[in-house]
Amino acid sequence: MYDILVYATNPESVTEIKELFPAPVHQVCVVDENDDWPVDVPETLFDFALAWEAPVQEVSKFLEKQQAVGLGFVPVVALTRDSSEADQLFALPLADVITLPTPRALFMRTIETLVHGRKRSEEDRRGMNWQGSLSEFNLIDLIQMVDAGRRSVEARLSQEGLNGRLVFGEGVLCDAQFRALSGSAALKKMVFWSRGSFQIRELGDEAVTNEIKLQNQEILLQLFEVLAKQDQLSRDLPDFTTQLLRNPLMEPGELTGLQSKILGQCQQAITIFELLQVLDDDGEDILLELKIMLEMNLIGDRVEVEAAIREAAETSNFSKVISSISSIFKRKPRESVVEYQFYESLPEESLLPLQFPARELSEDDRRLIEGKLLGGSQ
């Protein structure tokens, strides 16, 4: 399978290229305008590029653009029908120039030699000392690759300030370190790293002690299980890049030890990924507790929590009034008994006799009152 970057301005050429390298086996990315490349082009690791029947000047621009976006390491093959243009193309830093028409088999052999010969030469140059991106080779890939090489190496992994170390003895993973964690616990944290870089260094004659004491296949099975479990748990959780924040409007009550640690970390906004890395506890346990705490609203999406805090602040004065008023209405014992004073005479305007009110309301009374007050006031 090849990832191919194609510069072609003729739609018929594009059709032919896609027939030569059909999807989904091969991934073909076509640019037809040097001034406007798709945004995801620089993020793709292409095996090679084709400049298909493009004028020399445009091929030159293509090469410049390729360098500018960081893809200068991708070999470019230019194809042309014009033999005089072929001579000019050879002056450019191209991997090869092919004059059309050419037999398909010869063309494919050229490509194959170009791609595989490049990889072999890279390995010969550096042996097992090499570095790369975790986005291309993650922990599982590295274990398998070192296992295949049967070498004793040290691998240093890093991602956004996180640093881990692996030690292989003759291809067998013997030790792993991440902060204070070692062995399987460290591996279970590093297996989720996908954005950083790694460096591999041969250890030569350095002695390697096997601390993990498991075959690589057993380790890989454990890691696959960890990945599968997290994938399952993550379905009920926000995206791992979502920032979480403690909700100060909720009283936590009794918390487990891990919940307390999570709540402590969430005092400042923190992503789920960061939480999984900063806590030494098992990732599965962390995710399970996270799910509970999200349901209890003890923590939440930072944006939503901040909005709730703002809303509460706007109503805080109201709440204070409620509290003070409520205290007024709580039953309090009479501090003193006031003597009843009789009025010796009633003022002239007194027209309504006072009677002791009946404190018993029947259902009929209730309906009458309700009807009078609500029925007529709607």
Residues interacting with other proteins, by CB under 8 A? 311, 315, 317-318, 321-322, 325-326, 328-332, 334-335, 338, 340-341, 343, 346-347, 349-352, 354-361, 365-366, 368-370, 372-374, 376-378
Which residue's CB is nearer to other proteins, number 213 or number 330? 330
Q: Say how far apart CA 39 and CA 24 lie, in whole Å.
A: 21
Nearer to other proteins, 209 or 378 (CB): 378
Say if residues 130 and 200 touch (Cβ distance below 8 Å): yes
Nearer to other proteins, 209 or 341 (CB): 341
> Amino acid identity of 46?
F
Residue closer to other proteins by CB (options 209, 362) is: 362
Residue 297: CB minimum distance to other proteins, A? 18
Cβ of residue 249: shortest distance to other proteins, in angstroms? 14
Burial string for 177-208 (b: 16+ CB within 10 Å, else e) reads bbeebebebbbbbbbbbeebbbebebbeeeeb
Please state the closest distance from residue 316 (CB atom) to other proteins, in A: 11
Question: What one-letter code names the amino acid at 358?
Answer: A
Task: Give the residue with the Cβ less far from other proteins, 108 or 346.
Answer: 346
In the sheet where 243-246 sits, what is the strand order?
A: 270-271, 243-246, 299-301
H/E segment holding residue 17 = helix 11-20
**Which positions ≥6 away from 167 have C-beta within 8 Å?**
153, 154, 155, 173, 174, 175, 176, 203, 208
State in angstroms the smallest separation of the CB of 318 from other proteins: 7
Residue 84 vs 355, nearer CB to other proteins: 355
Residue carrying the six token digits 């020399």:
56
The residue (of 81 and 320) whose beta carbon lies closer to other proteins is 320
Q: Smallest distance, Å, CB 362 to other proteins?
A: 9
Rounded to the nearest whole angstrom, what is the least distance from the CB of residue 302 to other proteins in the complex?
A: 23
Q: How far apart are CA 159 and CA 265, in angstroms?
A: 20
**At a CB cut-off of 8 Å and minimum separation 6, what does 111 contact?**
2, 48, 77
Instruction: Let me know if 135 is exposed, middle or buried by CB neighbors in 10 A (0-12, 13-18, 19+).
Output: middle
Task: Kindly state the smallest distance separating residue 300's Cβ from other proteins, in Å.
Answer: 19
Neighbours of 299 (CB within 10 A): 23
Residue 73 forms beta bridges with which residues? Answer: none
Minimum CB–partner distance for residue 299 and other proteins (Å) = 24
The tokens describing 90, both together, are 């050879």
* 25 or 337: CB nearest other proteins: 337
